[in-house]
Amino acid sequence: MRTKADKQADNQGEHYVLNGEKTFISGAGSTDVLLVMARTGGAGPKGVSAFVVDADSAGIEYGKNEHKMGWKAQPTRTISFKDVKVPADNLIGEEGQGFSIAMKGLDGGRINIGICAVGTAQSALEAATNYVQERSQFGSPIASLQSVQFKLADMLTQAIASRQMLYLAADKVDNNDGQASTYCAMAKRLSTDLCFAVANEALQLHGGYGYLNEYPLERHVRDLRVHQILEGTNEIMRVIVSRQLLQDDALSKLR
């Protein structure tokens, strides 16, 4: 992290001056407030602090809206800070607590991304279920084909399994369980992988029509793909889970 917040004082009192740049910021340019992590101390996590910053503050510039594969409804921009004055009272907590504040938000963020994936998969499944009952081949709806029925059964199972795993992780967070972060990592990985597969199969069941903009499936597939990257890639989720699993007596705690 290179964005810095230097504490200064003038006749109006103490404040911080922000300088740096942030990339891939979801919603940038369309919000009233920014939550900014900046370095107030030395290297490492203990040198990071968190600030609430007015999104229209002097010295803030927003880059172009990135042209993304999906998630086009939400802007993604670079944010530049040049001598941006932030009142000292806008520091969240104390200096050096920024990293721990960010980490506390990750569990909820991973559940949120997983639930977004489940909702999109549910929509894709509903579209596919309706379509295969309307689309006829050789005089009968393709829903009568066992191969199609098997696909639908697997898709429904994957969507429900994802949802239930997320409910389990959310329950762990609500009850301050010591293994909550591990369950959130498992739930995020499972739900985003399975739900992308559900949407992809739903597109396949639509045949060539699924590839057209007039049908929602191509957008569902594009939007779902990034869920396997957001809030930590699914490879990182696997690292988190495996590290916990390899600890002493880990299996007895993961129940």
- The domain that contains 223 carries what CATH number? 1.20.140.10
Neighbour tally for 175: CB within 10 Å: 8
Q: Within this chain, do residues 144 and 76 fall inside the same structural domain, yes or no?
A: no
Tokens at 172, concatenated: 């762990």
- 88 contacts 13 by C-beta, under 8 angstroms: yes
DSSP type of residue 207: G
* pLDDT beyond 70 at 135: yes
- 154 confidence band (pLDDT: 50, 70, 90): very high
CA–CA dist 186, 165 (Å, integer): 8
Q: Within this chain, do residues 142 and 207 fall inside the same structural domain, yes or no?
A: yes
Helix, strand, or coil (residue 20): strand
Q: Within this chain, do residues 34 and 109 fall inside the same structural domain, yes or no?
A: no
Q: pTM score > 0.85 for this model?
A: yes
Q: Within this chain, do residues 115 and 216 fall inside the same structural domain, yes or no?
A: yes
Q: Within this chain, do residues 103 and 81 fall inside the same structural domain, yes or no?
A: no
- 249 confidence band (pLDDT: 50, 70, 90): confident
Give the mean model confidence (pLDDT) for residues 170-174: 96
Q: Within this chain, do residues 81 and 111 fall inside the same structural domain, yes or no?
A: no
Residue where a domain stops, chosen among 92, 125, 151: 92
* pLDDT beyond 70 at 248: no
pLDDT tens digits, 20-77: 999 999 999 999 999 999 999 999 999 999 999 999 999 999 999 999 999 999 999 9
- 225 contacts 192 by C-beta, under 8 angstroms: no
Give the mean model confidence (pLDDT) for residues 119-135: 97
Q: Which of 149, 133, 126 is nearest to 220 (CA)?
A: 126
Please list the alpha-helical segments (H only) found in 73-179: 98-134, 146-174
Residue where a domain stops, chosen among 64, 92, 120: 92
Q: Within this chain, do residues 206 and 108 fall inside the same structural domain, yes or no?
A: yes
- The domain that contains 15 carries what CATH number? 2.40.110.10
Residue where a domain stops, chosen among 30, 65, 92: 92
Query: What's the domain count of the chain?
Result: 2
The residues carrying an active-site annotation are: 231
Q: Within this chain, do residues 126 and 238 fall inside the same structural domain, yes or no?
A: yes
Q: Within this chain, do residues 52 and 113 fall inside the same structural domain, yes or no?
A: no
Q: Within this chain, do residues 164 and 188 fall inside the same structural domain, yes or no?
A: yes
pLDDT tens digits, 187-237: 999 999 999 999 999 999 999 999 999 999 999 999 999 999 999 999 999
Per the structure, the complete domain to which residue 197 belongs is given by: 98-253
CA–CA dist 185, 139 (Å, integer): 47
Q: Within this chain, do residues 87 and 132 fall inside the same structural domain, yes or no?
A: no
pLDDT tens digits, 68-88: 999 999 999 999 999 999 999
Q: Within this chain, do residues 138 and 234 fall inside the same structural domain, yes or no?
A: yes
